[in-house]
Structure 1
């Protein structure tokens, strides 16, 4: 295999920069002209407060630095002891909090059945109070310290890879998961604008059974190249024994079209393609799940940080860097606490509902018209500002949520909106500036053991 010499790679990058700078100085480029490659990495199971709530580099961040956020140990006990968030979260979370839809209802609304309760879901004083209660209930513990791990957060020095990226690019502090529930429904919303009525990680995701049109199908139909790189040693197969399939293989089209054989590659190919300047227009990366680099408990924070460092540095050193936009987000909060109530009354992806048996033995039905909990999200590119804090979305009338990615690429490449949720979601093209930065870090700090 022919490998480009480092000097030639540097020359190519300089040439791309000069070409971009020249057009900027002469004929003004549109934002679509600047972004030729979109890279999306979706990590696992951390809320905004847990991961980024302790950041101190900007007083504009809606986090926990100047906020005392507490939960009662028992939401049904008026005199219950209060448990307050502290920056002492552990490298390896001792427990995996409940993040099923009914459990998340308890975390957010202090009830498994919000349709039956007189809770004001628009009143912040009546929401986000059930995280510690649900954790204690899930693990049948009266150990307050153990239950409190769900509300504790990371000191900045313990997430310094992510923190350095945030300080150098754009951090969203009001980006919500698409579904107040688990991994695969959120990943389906992110990649197709709906979960087709699925509210749990059921077998349909492992059998490529979802029938809806996805962004992967949409891109192929429009002649736009894409690759789903997966960081897993599992062999691709349509069964329930290999763990989580890569997200593009949720969909029946990916199987029947044969794209699962041509467009899904191992993560090693990502690093090779980035180095050679051969990444496709759309790159989608699946971390492994769920033990070493995905941040999903029991994944250590340090190994997850090392993984995102490697992805960033591969992109930063790629000849394609000056035309790249990298989106790093988390699929859902994983049951970890956050203090900002998710928006309600939002458009669903379709008219399907989901019903599950809640921990109290009663059925609860969800209509997908409430977003999930805030998750830490970055937009990274030499075309965005340094240290920008982005709050509520400013266009489409909606919020920033996972379907904002599909809405953004629809605008970037003149595609149709797949679902009402995508049509509603706010996009972020206004963050792309007219200045090609030359001060973006080439390398990031190593994770700090703790």
Structure 2
């Protein structure tokens, strides 16, 4: 009997020992205690539907797999209705670089270059997202439907293996809007300062340290928070598409252009050594081989983000890192979700340009740009989450959500009303530091794994 009792006690003890234990990689408490480093990579010129609309790993993604998205070759002709439809046949190298000027985007979103002529009560109705093919046809003087359809065609998961793998392992935003319905540098200015100071095109001010507003780079320096803008420009500051920190008067005047703008090779060395700054901002080259901006091949862009991801993931700093991968703007490529209207501008400065019809259009920056693919990457976020409309702060997810979340992390002031409006994403940080995040990603198509 004693032997039986001893055996029973031993068995129960064994069960107790086998009971689930709290994982050692779980850490409760404020999200700010988990994130010490922020990494931002901003790629170029792809809409959500073009790049992520064909992803199939989750039925929650608001893309094109289950959505019939069509445009007309002539959006102004009521006799033509949806005669060109999107399909999973986007090219590795886009044959054309779609128009993404502010008035060109007007046509894409409103089927007119002058949405201000639409009455207020029909303004939302007029934002029909049906003019991408028309604008492509006009810009490139073509009636070839196959060529024009490239503006709305999309990629399959196999064509974007790297992006697909990152998305299904972390958090994909399917309602993240560019800051400006226009070109690269105004959007990048909003990303890094909360406004473009009235600039609606890639004018020379961006090339000569000509932007007067306070940037996140200045703000970080004033608060003793370390930062580096790593860049892979083929031209360099003052000679072409500058790295984003080089937009600003302060950067040149303070000498930070010498001390805090570094080549991309330094990023890889710093990541490997575990010496990345608190804020890492990465510019790809623009615009021919790794930025996704046409004529950059998708395969080479994928290879680039694979290298950046693996450097961050395998860095000694990984378990304290929040990494955001996004695109500066849609580049004229199609999307079926209308951007929000009536949002706060960064300031009260307007921008005027000449539309294709020879008439001026003035833009006040009170509506967002087209959706762009964005992923939140960290061991502290859950796997395979699809994040839609912002749940914090009342606003939408947009490029200035990065600034607003950084402000929450490091106790900084909002630079502009647009920053104050933007939804933050710290609620996506969990109490568990995952150990299943991939150390390497698949090779891009058509490379062999």
TM-score normalised by length of structure 2:
0.93
Other-structure match for 1:378: 375
Equivalent runs, 1:5-154 vs 2, <5 Å: 24=26, 28-80=28-80, 82-118=83-119, 120-123=122-125, 127-154=128-155
**Residues 331-365 of structure 1: CA deviation (Å, up to 9, x unaligned):** 00000000000000000000000000011000000
Moved over 3 A (4+): 21-25
* Conserved? CA contact 1:55–1:163, under 8 Å: yes
* Conserved? CA contact 1:23–1:29, under 8 Å: no
Q: 310, 327, 330: which one pairs with 1:330?
A: 327
How many pairs were matched up?
Answer: 423
Partner SS state of residue 116, structure 2? coil
Partner SS state of residue 335, structure 2? coil
Q: 384, 395, 398: which one pairs with 2:395?
A: 398
Separation (CA, whole Å) in 2 of partners of 1:302 and 1:58: 23
Q: 1:440 to 1:32 in 2, by over 3 A?
A: same
Gaps of 5+ in 1: 1-20
Separation (CA, whole Å) in 2 of partners of 1:199 and 1:52: 26
Partner SS state of residue 146, structure 1? helix
Partner SS state of residue 204, structure 1? helix
* Conserved? CA contact 2:73–2:143, under 8 Å: no
* Conserved? CA contact 2:25–2:434, under 8 Å: no
Separation (CA, whole Å) in 2 of partners of 1:300 and 1:333: 16
Partner SS state of residue 134, structure 1? helix
Q: CA deviation at 1:250?
A: 0.4
Q: CA deviation at 1:116?
A: 1.1
Other-structure match for 1:286: 283
Gaps of 5+ in 2: 1-22
Q: 418, 421, 440: which one pairs with 2:415?
A: 418
Separation (CA, whole Å) in 2 of partners of 1:60 and 1:327: 21
TM-score normalised by length of structure 1:
0.92
* Conserved? CA contact 2:25–2:433, under 8 Å: no
Q: CA deviation at 1:396?
A: 1.2
Separation (CA, whole Å) in 2 of partners of 1:118 and 1:437: 51
Other-structure match for 2:192: 191
Equivalent runs, 1:213-228 vs 2, <5 Å: 213-228=214-229
Q: CA RMSD in A?
A: 1.3
Separation (CA, whole Å) in 2 of partners of 1:126 and 1:198: 23
* Conserved? CA contact 2:236–2:242, under 8 Å: no
Partner SS state of residue 217, structure 1? helix
Equivalent runs, 1:199-218 vs 2, <5 Å: 199-218=200-219
Q: CA deviation at 1:235?
A: 3.6
Partner SS state of residue 123, structure 2? coil
Partner SS state of residue 302, structure 1? helix
Q: CA deviation at 1:232?
A: 2.0
Separation (CA, whole Å) in 2 of partners of 1:267 and 1:307: 11
**Residues 378-406 of structure 1: CA deviation (Å, up to 9, x unaligned):** 00000000000000001111000000000
